[in-house]
Amino acid sequence: MGRFPWQPVVLFKGCFLLVSAELCLLDGIPEGSRQNVREDLASGLGEAPIRMVVYDWLSAEVVSELTAILLSEVLGYNVTLNTERASASVAGALQLAGCASYDCTERRPRSHVAMDTWLAGIPGELADMETTRPNLAPQRLGSMGFVGQEALYVKGSVREAAYYTTGLALDFYRSYNASLHDAAKFFSRVSDLDTGDFVPCNASGYESANDYEMRTYAEVTGDWGGIVGTPAGYVANCPDDFFWLSPACRHNISECIPVIAAGSGWNYYIWMQWSTWFAMPTAIGIVKDGAAHWETVVGNFETIFYWWYPDATFLHLDAWIFTVPRHSRREWAANEYRTGFPEVSVEKVVSGHLPAVAPRASRFLEEFVMDLEDIQGLLLEVREGATPWAAACNWVRSKRSLWTEWIPVDTQCLAGEGLQNSMDEYVTNRSEAVGCATCRPGRFSKSILDGTGATFVCEPCPAGTFESAFGKTACVDCDAGTFANSSGRAYCDLCDQGRYANATGMTYCHACGSEHWTTSQLMVLDGAETWVQVNGVTSESFCTCIAGWPLVATINLRQASYARVACVNASYSIHPKPKSLF
C-alpha cells in the first residue's frame, strides 16, 4: 500500500542507485562529460556530484529520477540519489543542511536538491532553520505545479449508477442526508464484507482506540453513544467489534454505507465527525494493513474509501472525491471537522548553497513545473510495472518541448557572475560567450543590457580599487597608505618608504621628495623612543630624510608656515645655505 506522504508508517528502506550510466536521451550528455559541483570540506575545497534527497513515497521516487535525468543528461551535472530515504520534509531539510540530527551537532555532506517536498501546512521547521541557522537553511524554489490532498472517494460505477437512475450526486456530501435520500441502496452492505479483512475497533495502536481522539469526537459532537469507555480509555463504539456506526444508521447496520479507512485508521475521527455532521449513514471500518486488503476491498465492494492524490492506486476505478465544504483552518484548530482537508503544498526545496555552486541547476529547478496529470500518469505507469526510472525517462522523452523551456539561457548570468568563453576566459559580450562563471577576486560583476536581455560581465577593478572576494558586484577603493597602479587587482600595495598616499582610491603614492627621503615614525621600542622607517603611510607628515642627510626646510616667518625642501649631504649641512637651493 502507498501512503499519504507524512502518515507515520513503517519506513520503506530502499537500497537505491547512483544515476544510471544508461542514457535516457539519445542526445543526452554522457557520464564522462558531466561536471561536479564545488564542495566545501573540512579539509578544503573539493568536488562532488549533485546529491538528491529522495523521500520514501512513490511520487518522490519517480520525480527524483526524472529530475536526475534532466540535471545529468540535459544540464550536464554528475548526480547521485541519496540511498537513505527521508521520511518527511524535516528529514529532507536536515539532509539539505548537512545535519545528521536536528541539533546539527554532527555534520555530514550537504545534499543539494529535494523534489516533491510535502509541506503539510507547517513549513515551520524550515522557517525555524532560517532564524536559528540561516547559513544552512534550505531554500524553497516554489511549487512542483500540483498540490496534494487526502479525502474520501466514491468510485465511478456507484456514482454513475446513482446519478443516472435517481439524479443523486454521490460525489457531494449533501446527497447522503439519511432523512432525505437513500444513498445506501447504491452501496454494499456491511454484511457483504468479510470482517477478516478488518481490524477490531479496540485494537491498540489504531485511531479507533485512541482515547484522546475518541473523547474529542464525543465532546465536539455530543455523540457520547458513539464511544465506549474501556480500562484502556475510550474506543469507538462498534457493536460488531469491527464497524463504528454513525448516528444516522446506528439503529440498523443494514442501512449503513461502508466507509473504508486505511493504515492505522488514518483520520478515523474525521470520518466520524463528517458522518455525524452531515447526517450520513456510515459504518467505518479499518482495513488490515497491506496493499492486498485495501485494494481488494475497495475494488470488490461498493464503498466510500480513503485515498489521496497524487496517487495511482485507484485511478482505474474512476474514483472522484467525496466533496465537502472547503477547509476551515480555524475550525480544524478547534477539533471541529465539518470541512475538507487542506490542500498540501508540494514544493521544490534546495540547499541554500545550490545557487552558488550550481547556478544553472538552480535556475532550471525554479522553472520546473509539472501538472497533476503528469504525476498521476507517471504513478500509473509504475503501478503497471515500469521502474521509476523507466517511467521518468518516458516522460522526459515525450515532454521535450516542455522542459526545454526550463533550461536557462547559458549566457544569462546572475549578479556575481560574468560571461565566459569556451576557454574559461571572461568576455565582455555574448558573441563569444558560452556560459557564466563567478567573478574572481580582482573583478566585479557588472550588469550589461543587450538585445537578448540583461546579463553580467566580470570587469576588472579599475586602478585605485580592489576586490579580494569571489562573486562581488563592486570594487573597493584602496585604503589611504595603499595604491593600485593597474586594473584587475585583488589587493592594493602598500606605499614604499619615502612615499605616502594621503587619500583613498590612489593609483600611485606621492613621493616625499626627489632624493634621500624615507618615511618614519617615532616608536617606543624596549622603553626607548626610536625612529622606525615605515611604509604604507597615509600622510606627508611621515616624510623624513634618511640618516646622514639632514633636512633642509624653508620657514616662512610671515605666514608661520614650514615646508620640507630637501635632504642634503650631511657634509654640506655645516654650511648653512646649500647654494643649489637658495
Ligand X SMILES: *[C@@H]1O[C@H](CO)[C@@H](O)[C@H](O)[C@H]1NC(C)=O
Residue ranges that bind ligand X, judged by CB under 6 A: 31-36, 49, 78, 177, 179-180, 200, 202-204, 241, 252, 254-255, 278-279, 427-429, 431-432, 485, 493, 502-503, 510, 540, 569, 571
C-alpha closest to that of 67 among 54, 56, 57, 58: 54
What is d(CA 207, CA 286) in angstroms, rounded to the nearest whole number?
A: 9
Helices of type H across 3-54: none
Question: At its nearest, how many Å lie between ligand X and the CB of residue 56?
Answer: 25
Question: At its nearest, how many Å lie between ligand X and the CB of residue 500?
Answer: 8
144 contacts 118 by C-beta, under 8 angstroms = no
> Residue 30's CB: how many other CB atoms inside 10 A?
11
Nearer to ligand X, 353 or 489 (CB): 489
Nearer to ligand X, 67 or 117 (CB): 67
Question: At its nearest, how many Å lie between ligand X and the CB of residue 121?
Answer: 27
Return all residues near 442 (Cβ < 8 A) that are at least 6 apart.
Answer: 460, 461, 466, 467, 488, 489, 490
As separate numbers, helices (DSSP H) first and strands (DSSP E) second, the chain gives 14, 30
Nearer to ligand X, 84 or 493 (CB): 493
Q: Which residue has the cell 579539509?
A: 43
Nearer to ligand X, 105 or 179 (CB): 179
Return all residues near 104 (Cβ < 8 A) that are at least 6 apart.
Answer: 94, 97, 133, 136
Question: At its nearest, how many Å lie between ligand X and the CB of residue 529?
Answer: 26
> Residue 296's CB: how many other CB atoms inside 10 A?
14
Q: What does the block give as the cell for 367?
A: 522553472
Nearer to ligand X, 253 or 415 (CB): 253
Question: At its nearest, how many Å lie between ligand X and the CB of residue 298?
Answer: 23
Question: At its nearest, how many Å lie between ligand X and the CB of residue 502?
Answer: 4
Nearer to ligand X, 177 or 188 (CB): 177
Nearer to ligand X, 19 or 144 (CB): 19
C-alpha closest to that of 193 among 272, 269, 256: 256
What is d(CA 389, CA 432) in angstroms, rounded to the nearest whole number?
A: 37
Nearer to ligand X, 93 or 184 (CB): 184
C-alpha closest to that of 351 among 570, 101, 139, 99: 139
Question: At its nearest, how many Å lie between ligand X and the CB of residue 372?
Answer: 31
Helices of type H across 203-284: 211-221, 268-277
What are the beta bridge partners of residue 436? Answer: 419
Question: At its nearest, how many Å lie between ligand X and the CB of residue 550?
Answer: 12
What is d(CA 224, CA 487) in angstroms, rounded to the nearest whole number?
A: 83
